[in-house]
Structure 1
Amino acid sequence: MPCLIAAPASGSGKTLVSLALAALAHRRGLSLQTFKVGPDYLDPQLLSLASGRACRNLDALLCGGPWLQRSFQRHGAQADLCLVEGVMGLFDGKGPSTEGSSAHVASLLQLPIVLVVEASRQAGSLAALVRGFRDHDPSLTIAGVVLNGVGSPRHEALLREALASIAMPVLGALPRHTSLELPSRHLGLLPAHELEDVQLRLEAWATLAEAHLDLDQLWPLLSAPAPGEAAPAPAAPANDPVPVALASDAAFHFRYPEAIELLEQNGLIVEPWSPLADEPLPQGCHGVILPGGYPELHADTLTASSRSLAALRQARQMGLPIYAECGGLLLLGKGLEDQDGVLHPMAGLLPFQARRGSLSLGYRQASPRCDGLVVRQGETLWGHEFHRWQLDQGNTGEAALWDLEGWGSPARSEGWGDGQLHASWLHLHWGGCPAIPERFAASARLAAPLGR
């Protein structure tokens, strides 16, 4: 059974340890399936890069326990090795609860935990910290600790002796060094495609694992899970496949691998489309999907992409289905402010301008106000919100797409929707709401193809 790599808090080094093990497995010619707890998009990009296989998210809130179990067994069993990287601190979930946390997922999947502890400013106090995490939930098993930020051999000896006093195995000790830092920006780590010297980093991560991790103890904790029940083969689409455009470039890249898989299972041909390159929508496409990303970092280029923006307006006029989440929503507004406060015109399909503001973060329960392109009144969906740009004119009235509620966040109405449009801040994982791609595909098949 593989392990779940967790930590007391964000920034402790669990991503670094996960990347080091994934890069080492790849160097040794072994396939390793990575998973990431929670709704994150950026860590999975790095884990996919290091392992050579698409990382899968395990989010109990967005997808539910049964789906999570099936995904873990189905994908994990197809590789030689497997690991799960946790999210934030071990017990950090929705609000103050553990729901959706790394501990929650470890309990659902019965995984042992490797705790990565940032120990650069600790000695004997480390034992109290680790003891607290070990004893907080006795149903969990902490297999051992990886020390991060170790300053010297003497410091390492102090930490090892402290953990020996509570009979906690040490599974590695990473040195304190600036070369091991992972660059980040306002929503997390840099996307994988923006990292410089990628191959050098992969080699450095693999070498780090060999030099500083106890592989005799860790490697058995990467064993792949046993396969679960075989998933039923998806039914063949009743109609001929039709193409849809998926925005895919440096501005729009926040998506889960299941999105394309589910669209294809529903009889769609997914064609990548780059607004940043000012590409027209593919001729003959029947719909448009705009995922999240960083359009605010590319607002000047997007405003100059006149062909792409005109194609979006044409798609709307022709009644093609358009699905937009978070960053994709921003492309549809009247204007988007960049990081320097300069406002740039966008497609103008929705009546707002977006500017940098306060952080919106957390899980949201969404209740649609009416039937729309992909949602129906009376349903309840779980999504995740994470953005620093805000709208000067949000759709908060009776015409809003849905009502949102979340811990610590005032209840509000949000989003735009009708029979051909779904536009919202909310990220959804379609593994937890498979009706979304089904309904989008049904609408796409009814739409007249663009440019014909």
Structure 2
Amino acid sequence: MDSGSPGSRNARPAILVAASHSGAGKTTTVAILLRALRDRGLTVQAFKIGPDFIDTAYHTEATGRPAINLDLWMMGPDAVRRSFHHFSADADISVIESMGALFDGADGTEEGSAAHLAKLLGVPVVVVLDVWGMTRTTGAVLTGMRDFDPELTIAGCILNRTGSDRHARMVLDALRPDLRDLVVGAVSHQAGLAVPERHLGLVTVEENPAPRVDRDDAYRSAGRGLDVDRLLAVAGHRTTGSADPTTGPTRDAATSGTVGRSAPARARLAVARDAAFCFYYEENLRLLRAAGFELVPFRPTSDPALPDGTDAVYLGGGYPESFAADLAANTALAGELRRRAVAGTPIYAECGGLMYLAASLTGFDGTRHPMTGVLPLDVVMDPAHLAIRYVEVHTRQDSPLGPAGTTLRGQEFHQSRITGDPALPPLFDVTSSDGTTSVAGYAVGNVVASYIHVHLASHPHVARRLLGAALAARGEQT
């Protein structure tokens, strides 16, 4: 039976962790669960529904392997299936964290919701319920969620933010036996589990002031309230080891199509990776490797030069505004990027990367910092300007991303804006998920920059086209 058919069960051990509403504590609960599973000696693969970069970084920290975004709007159902099957192939268990509430999708529909994805992949759901201030009402909420969609399997429940052991017992005693049997653990309210917030979300792993050992200790302490054996059973994990690879798509099968195997490295792609630039879709990095790039990290906040042998540059998103003084002080790297741009080295920049390529970046405090000056733009942080949207883009001209008319999907999430008129023709015709149209992005020579975080699974050939641009820039054929 097709793993995407309603009611079918995915062959690999997996659960999807969702909640009744945003803010119910599912991100913290997932981190606790991932830590508990890893402490069992299991290979754990984490996934996150939606475009979030910060949650996936915390998942990666907890599991020791990159977490993967699954986004139906950006990727489409076939690519979501392929990505899930590929990255879960060698894991003992996979844990998918939802985005928002379980049944909430686009425009009040199921489309793109956690419930939609759970049915697409055939994965059982474990519901996180915030029971702070509740006892018997927990049963009403759980009953409604369990019975709302008969095609969805809700196989477990974790009680979050219990006030005490006595409170947890009161909640359990108030549940009917059939609901009580769904409860697979409780997490008590602990201030030390909270991740600090900042503009545009949680503080990143790279900037979290709490030492990692303290976070691990807090997760382990909270994890004592989880029945890990029951959670493993709910997920379909067999105690003898990982799922039999013959029961589902093999790793070779899963690498066909969008995902692809890594090709021999033909060019070096310098990837900005530090506290200022840490927002990347793992699927994008994988597709770039599969195309033939060797990915080499560098730190724009401190490295005076690009890595030796760099053939192309990838500047992802992040929080350059928090490190604007460090970036401005690194004049040697800024100079090299300007020379590279003139020489035709492909430079691809998303959101924070666009801000770094600008002539200046003015912070929330009004301080203006010089940036690289690769593009004649000035960027200003603006608390009154918040852009959050899914987009589909069509290129208006040839670029390192491919010929004019290339279509990609991605998302925007930023609190800055370009001031004045840069006098550059836009690269993209943009249609947002709500039908709004606009233009965006720039292409100057082999430099491509925009506020849009593109997901390459929406058009995997783009990775190969970027490789072709890098090879052509050094005088080689693709």
Q: TM-score, normalised by structure 2?
A: 0.87
Aligned residues: 445
**Which residue is 2:7 aligned to?**
none
Listed as ranges, the gaps of 5+ residues in structure 2 are 1-12
Match of 2:463 among 434, 437, 443: 437
**Which residue is 1:228 aligned to?**
249
TM-superposed deviation, 1:394:
6.5
The reply to whether residue 264 of structure 1 matches residue 276 of structure 2 is no
CA change 1:421–1:162 in 2 (3 A) is farther
Match of 2:428 among 397, 402, 405: 402
**Which residue is 1:374 aligned to?**
401
The reply to whether residue 194 of structure 1 matches residue 215 of structure 2 is no
Q: State the alpha-carbon separation in 1 of the partners of residues 68 and 286 from structure 2.
A: 12
**Which residue is 1:119 aligned to?**
131
The reply to whether residue 422 of structure 1 matches residue 448 of structure 2 is yes
**Which residue is 2:45 aligned to?**
33
For the Cα contact (< 8 Å) 1:24–1:207, is it kept in 2? no
Matches within 5 A, 1:58-207: 58-164=70-176, 167=179, 169-195=182-208, 196-207=210-221
The reply to whether residue 218 of structure 1 matches residue 231 of structure 2 is yes
Q: State the alpha-carbon separation in 2 of the partners of residues 124 and 371 from structure 1.
A: 62
Q: State the alpha-carbon separation in 1 of the partners of residues 420 and 147 from structure 2.
A: 49
For the Cα contact (< 8 Å) 2:76–2:458, is it kept in 1? yes
For the Cα contact (< 8 Å) 1:127–1:165, is it kept in 2? no
Q: Find the residue that maps to 1:431 and give its secondary structure.
A: helix
> RMSD over aligned Cα, in angstroms?
2.3
Q: Find the residue that maps to 1:12 and give its secondary structure.
A: coil
Q: State the alpha-carbon separation in 1 of the partners of residues 451 and 389 from structure 2.
A: 12
For the Cα contact (< 8 Å) 2:99–2:114, is it kept in 1? yes
TM-superposed deviation, 1:113:
0.7
For the Cα contact (< 8 Å) 2:424–2:442, is it kept in 1? no
CA change 1:341–1:408 in 2 (3 A) is farther
Q: State the alpha-carbon separation in 2 of the partners of residues 77 and 236 from structure 1.
A: 20
- Per mean C-alpha deviation after superposition, the further-off stretch among 347-356 and 106-115 is 347-356
Q: State the alpha-carbon separation in 1 of the partners of residues 60 and 69 from structure 2.
A: 11
CA change 1:311–1:110 in 2 (3 A) is same
Q: State the alpha-carbon separation in 1 of the partners of residues 59 and 401 from structure 2.
A: 31
TM-superposed deviation, 1:94:
3.3
- Per mean C-alpha deviation after superposition, the further-off stretch among 134-143 and 57-66 is 134-143
For the Cα contact (< 8 Å) 2:354–2:450, is it kept in 1? yes
Letter aligned with residue 293 of structure 2: L
**Which residue is 2:305 aligned to?**
280
**Which residue is 1:297 aligned to?**
322
Q: State the alpha-carbon separation in 2 of the partners of residues 91 and 403 from structure 1.
A: 32
**Which residue is 2:8 aligned to?**
none
| Percent of paired sites with the same residue | 36
After superposition, what is the alpha-carbon deviation per residue over 1:102-146, rounded to whole angstroms, capped at 9, x for unaligned? 112101101111111112132333333333333332211111221
Match of 1:336 among 343, 353, 361: 361
TM-superposed deviation, 1:77:
2.5
The reply to whether residue 386 of structure 1 matches residue 413 of structure 2 is yes
For the Cα contact (< 8 Å) 2:400–2:469, is it kept in 1? yes
The reply to whether residue 361 of structure 1 matches residue 383 of structure 2 is no
- Per mean C-alpha deviation after superposition, the further-off stretch among 338-347 and 324-333 is 338-347
Q: Find the residue that maps to 2:410 and give its secondary structure.
A: strand
TM-superposed deviation, 1:165:
7.1
After superposition, what is the alpha-carbon deviation per residue over 1:263-315, rounded to whole angstroms, capped at 9, x for unaligned? 22222222212110042123432211101111010011111110111111101
Q: State the alpha-carbon separation in 1 of the partners of residues 471 and 88 from structure 2.
A: 34
For the Cα contact (< 8 Å) 2:143–2:179, is it kept in 1? no
Q: State the alpha-carbon separation in 2 of the partners of residues 248 and 306 from structure 1.
A: 18
For the Cα contact (< 8 Å) 1:400–1:415, is it kept in 2? yes
TM-superposed deviation, 1:345:
1.1
After superposition, what is the alpha-carbon deviation per residue over 1:302-354, rounded to whole angstroms, capped at 9, x for unaligned? 11110111111101110111100010010011211223221111112223222
After superposition, what is the alpha-carbon deviation per residue over 1:238-264, rounded to whole angstroms, capped at 9, x for unaligned? xx7222211111111111223333222
Q: State the alpha-carbon separation in 2 of the partners of residues 165 and 235 from structure 1.
A: 51
- Per mean C-alpha deviation after superposition, the further-off stretch among 257-266 and 425-434 is 257-266
Q: State the alpha-carbon separation in 2 of the partners of residues 120 and 64 from structure 1.
A: 37
After superposition, what is the alpha-carbon deviation per residue over 1:159-213, rounded to whole angstroms, capped at 9, x for unaligned? 224442773622222111211212222222222233322123213312321x211
For the Cα contact (< 8 Å) 2:193–2:215, is it kept in 1? no
Q: State the alpha-carbon separation in 2 of the partners of residues 252 and 103 from structure 1.
A: 32
Q: State the alpha-carbon separation in 2 of the partners of residues 234 and 165 from structure 1.
A: 49
CA change 1:390–1:249 in 2 (3 A) is same
Q: State the alpha-carbon separation in 2 of the partners of residues 178 and 347 from structure 1.
A: 41
Q: State the alpha-carbon separation in 2 of the partners of residues 442 and 380 from structure 1.
A: 18
The reply to whether residue 244 of structure 1 matches residue 252 of structure 2 is no
Letter aligned with residue 182 of structure 1: V
Q: Find the residue that maps to 2:61 and give its secondary structure.
A: helix
Q: Find the residue that maps to 1:205 and give its secondary structure.
A: helix
After superposition, what is the alpha-carbon deviation per residue over 1:205-244, rounded to whole angstroms, capped at 9, x for unaligned? 12321x211223212234366541423574855xx72222
TM-superposed deviation, 1:98:
2.8
For the Cα contact (< 8 Å) 2:46–2:63, is it kept in 1? yes
For the Cα contact (< 8 Å) 2:44–2:95, is it kept in 1? yes
Q: State the alpha-carbon separation in 2 of the partners of residues 236 and 149 from structure 1.
A: 47
Listed as ranges, the gaps of 5+ residues in structure 1 are none
